[in-house]
Structure 1
Amino acid sequence: MVIKVFLASSSGSTAIKKKQQDVVGFLEALKIDYTQFDIASNEDNRMWMRENVPGEKKPTNGIPLPPQIFNEGMYCGDYDTFFEAKEDNSVYEFLGLTPPPGSKEAQQAENAQKLHNGSGTEEHLDDDTTKKELVEAEQNGDAHTAELEEDDPGKKAETDAQEENAEEEEPAEEDEESVTDH
């Protein structure tokens, strides 16, 4: 598969020049094979690029600006979508390529596959641990509170407010006791 980057060799816009350099420099840094197609000096390249950018991806004036990136005939995106892929460490996916082993993107794909298959490093508690935690919750009164919260969210707020008021009243009672003791 050949990555095609459509550029304008004689662009008057410094913004376009910087975007083109960013794309080409990044592809070179990753050692991704690509071919440059100049739309400024070759009318066929310009027409091919304009015809093959999907309608929904074209700007409001209908004329896509370089750089535009393709994988063979498949449209990958413009500079903005390339930049997003670069930020997300998903350039290979953006380009329709398989990431090389050891790359961040390959590691992310591997981790996602592990989680999808359920072979990730999850901690599974046995039934005894769960039962023990449930008994402790019942002894602390937490189980009943949890039931209230599930049944009526308004009661949770009321229960929380009552607990808060009870905590505020306790120190006041202690202060009164210390005053009467002296």
Structure 2
Amino acid sequence: MGVTIYMASVSSSLEVKKNQERIFSVLSSKKIPFKAVDITQNSEDKDFMRKKAGNPKALPPQIFNGDAYCGDFAAFEEAIEMEKLEQFLKL
């Protein structure tokens, strides 16, 4: 199924936008294919993201591989720092 990033195209938070762009940039530079799912277009996607993340208030971006939850932006950054991105993404 591959890596899926649950994101928000409409957000008043500059931090959310920067975090999303950082994830897209890193994945693109490493040639890791991914799909972006915009939770602002479909509330079912937002509900799915929050349920799978195990947090009813989870905010984007959230990262999945298929139906497996990988983590949020902080976990993504930590995986990069520890040089364990592929492991984090369950590749």
Q: Give the TM-score range, shorter chain.
A: over 0.9
Counterpart position of 2:36: 36
1:87 corresponds, among 68, 81, 88, to 81
Correspondence list, 1:159-170, <5 A? none
Q: Which structure features the higher share of helix residues?
A: 1
1:31-70 to structure 2, matched below 5 A, reads: 31-54=31-54, 58=55, 62-70=56-64
Q: 1 or 2 for the larger relative contact order (CA 8 Å, sep ≥6)? A: 2
Alignment correspondent of 1:20: 20
Which amino acid is the alignment partner of residue 78 of structure 1?
D
Partner Cα distance (1:23, 1:81) in 2? 11
Alpha-carbon displacement from aligned partner over 1:53-88 (angstroms, at most 9, x marks no partner)? 12xxx3xxx400100000000000000000000111
Q: Quote the residue 1:76 is aligned against.
A: 70
* 1: CA distance, partners of 2:45 / 2:4: 11
Counterpart CA distance in 2 for 1:14 and 1:48 is 24
Tell me the distance in 2 between the aligned counterparts of 1:41 and 1:12: 16
Give the aligned length. 91
Q: Which has the larger strand fraction? A: 2
State the identity as a percent.
Answer: 37
Which of 1 and 2 has greater Rg?
1
Q: CA RMSD in A?
A: 0.9
Q: Any unmatched runs of 5+ in structure 1? A: 98-182
Q: TM-score, normalised by structure 1?
A: 0.49
TM-score (norm 2): 0.95
CA distance in 2, matches of 1:49, 1:84: 21
- Partner Cα separation in structure 2 for residue 34 and residue 19 of structure 1: 15
Q: Structure 2: give runs of 5+ residues left out of the alignment.
A: none
Task: Give structure 1 regions of 4+ aligned residues with deviation exceeding 4 angstroms.
Answer: none
2:86 aligned partner, one-letter code: Y
